[in-house]
Structure formats: C-alpha cells, structure tokens
Structure 1
Amino acid sequence: MTRRHLDTSRAILLAGIAAVVPVAASRADPPQPAAVGSPFIAPEGEFVLTRELRKSLHDGKEIVFRRSYAVRFSREASGFRLDGELLDVSVDAPESLRALAEMERRRPDTGMFPLRLDAQGFLLPSDPRPAAPAVRKAAAFVQSEVRELGLSPSAERQATAFAAAIERNPGYTRWPVDLFRPRAGTRHEERAINLPGNMRGTVTIEISARTQEHGDLLGSLTRTVVTDTGESRRTSIEKWTLVGAG
C-alpha cells in the first residue's frame, strides 16, 4: 500500500474515532418508528448496556471498540429517563494502530447521559444546539491529538476536517431511535454519501434486532454499514446489548 493510501486510511479511521462518540439522537434523525400501539414498560433494576464497534481495515484486519455502561430506567412525566455511567472500555487493534487505540481508550465520554425516551420507549432528540457537549469534547480531543500520529500534511488536514464536520453535524453517528424497543427482525437502507477528496460512494445499512425473552425490551441490535467508494469497500458493525446487572 502506498504512503498516500495509508495516510488516507489512517485519517479516515481517526475521524471514525471521533464519530463513535455516543450521540443518542439529534434533530437530523429520521422520523420515529410508527406507533406500536402500547406504552413502553420500563424494566426495574440496573442493566449493563454494551456498545461494540468493529471497523474493517485495508489489510483485512479490524479494530474493535467496546464501551459498557451501568444504566437504570426511571419514569418521567411524559416518558422515561435513562441514567448511566461508564463501566469499562476496551480496544482491540493491530500494533500499527496502537496510538489510535490509546486515543479511544482515553477519549472523554462525559455528557452522554441522561438519555430520554418517550412514552413508547423511543429515544427523544437531544439538545438541538450545534453540537452536544460530548461531541464537542470528542472533536476537540481528536484535533489536539492528530499531530502525534505522524500523518502527512494532507492526511492531517483530512482528519481535522472530519472532526470539525462531526462537531457541526452531531447526528452523524446517531443511535437508532428505536434502540431500546426495537422491531425484531432485519431491515435495510441504502444512500449516497460524500467522501474525502471529493469522492462519492454508497452506504448500505442493515439493522438486525432481537428483544428480550419476555417483552419488547432490547436484547441485542446489530447495525452493519458497508461503505463502497468504487475503489474500496469497508464494513463497520455496531452491536448494542442490554443485560441485567445481576
């Protein structure tokens, strides 16, 4: 692989680290799922919510991020509140990406909670300001660390531009609106995107979900995103699981 391709791959991956900041919802979210006809019954007790992100690399290897949170639902006047705190962070990455992995381990994760759900259990939009605190912190963190990676000037510009774009558009990596009350089964979506270097490509999204054994609360939800630029094809897989803390 040429230096140019390596720099581009690392710059895109770096931007991806900022992009994995856990933004739950934003004004850019698509319309909420159709009403399910019955109110959401929030579970009692503490749960562990884990989000795992797998991103494929140019050489067939992958980098894997995992973050687990202790969460608890509580009733509010018009819906529900989800409070949580970070329990654990792990990153599995090739040795060549050790610096990137360490950035993700140290990335600030404040400002995510509380999340709010409506009466049917769907995530409500977050603060409609230009960027939520967690997004601003992640973007600033990436911009402050990018010079340590030894990228070429071109790749460095790409990475910082990506971070700035994420800050301007906090819905870039929104969580599924129906995450905590998903529709069991599989669904697909495809759309065109703009990429670095004035390239265009397509993104194909597949979401597969299952609920808990009893009821319609999240058991696991997997979102597979395939980005095709015509020159390369990359896959990222996000998986959320919710299990009782006991």
Structure 2
Amino acid sequence: MSALRSHFSLAGLGQGARAALPAFPGFIMFAMAFGTAASQKGLSLAEALGLSAFVYAGASQMVGLEIWQRVWSPTTILTIMTVTAVVNSRMILLGATLHPWLKDEPKPRTALNLFLITEAGWLISTRYHSDGGRDVGILLGSGLTLWAVWFVATFIGFFAGALVPEPTRFGLDLVMPIFFGAMLVPLWKGPRPALPWLVAGAVSLVFHALVPGYLFILAGALAGVVAGMLIE
C-alpha cells in the first residue's frame, strides 16, 4: 500500500515538465492570440502580462478583453467579475477530482497546484494517476511549465500585435474554440456522456441569439449540469 501513497519528488517534477511538451503548440498559439488582442485593445504590457501571470485563465482572459474598458464603472466591474467566475467555475470540478491525490499534501503546495491547474495539465496528471502513478511532482511540473510557456507567449504575442493589424484575417479569432475542441477529444467516452455537452452548446447558442450580454455562458453551463443529472 505504501507504493500507492501520494508523494513528491524532483524527478517527478522533471517528468511532469516533459509530459507537458505536447500541449505547447496549443498553449503558445492561444497565449499569443491573447497577447495580440490585448495589445490591440489598448492594454499596457504590464496589464497583459499581469493577467497572464495572476489570472492565468485563457478563456476568461479572452472574454474579459471583450468587456475591458479604459474607464471603469461599477456595472462593468460586476459584469467582468461575474463572467470570469462563471467561465472559471469549471475549475472547481477539476480541482475536486484531484482531492484523493492531494489530500495529504502540504497546503501551500496544494494551493500552488490548484492555481496552476489547466485542462491540459489536468489531463496529463489524471492519466498518470489512473495508470497508478502517485508522484505529485508530475502535476506541479506540468503546471509550472505550462504557466511559464503561457507567460512568455503572451509577451511575444503582445509585440506581434503590431505586425498583425487584422487578427481575423489570419484566423486568430478561432484559436480559442479550436484549442478547446481539441481538448475535448481525449474526454470522449461515447454519445451518451456527450449529451450534456450538446445540450449546453445548444442552449448557449439560443441564449446568445435571443438575449444580449453574457447570460448565454451561465445558461449553457446550468443546462449542461441539469442534463447530466437527468441522464445519470
């Protein structure tokens, strides 16, 4: 049983960094697209890098840019807070699945692991864990590596924005949906478990067409949850 207990090693840290390599192309393109969009939106380099360093949530960063204002009002602040919270709420579920692995870890390291968690890092780590691996260094190593790649690619993308005056002309606006579409492929387990995805997407599209603002995100998420509960 001792071999199945969670532990941490520097060797696992390096292994996690190497395991993150396949996610580099998607992360680099996504972060560069954000850096480019941030530059063209009028954010300073410090603001763009601060978002990538401390918010570190690609979808929320992109959505936040759409709401971003040079002069803020209480309504705008509340809107961006709500939308960011809803988009990032998926991380609650990802974090919950890691509890059996992290429950005996020191709290500071657990907090760092949960801050760094992304869909890509989660997939890498849960595959390793499901195969019997218990070295938490894998989770931290992949998380730190992907965070560093995201930060550097944001920096590059910020300056590349001046060279790409029309991002849509080169399809850079499609980076986010393509990235998340690719991330869904390893999660495919047949048509029945995918039904909540379909329901969430359909409800989001309907709300987006009929209701102004960002209510479609919340509506789609709730519809997917309800559909999942009914199916189970």
TM bracket (short chain): under 0.3
TM-score, length basis structure 1: 0.25
Higher strand share: 1
TM-score, length basis structure 2: 0.26
Which gives a bigger RCO, structure 1 or 2 (Cα 8 Å, sep 6+)? 2
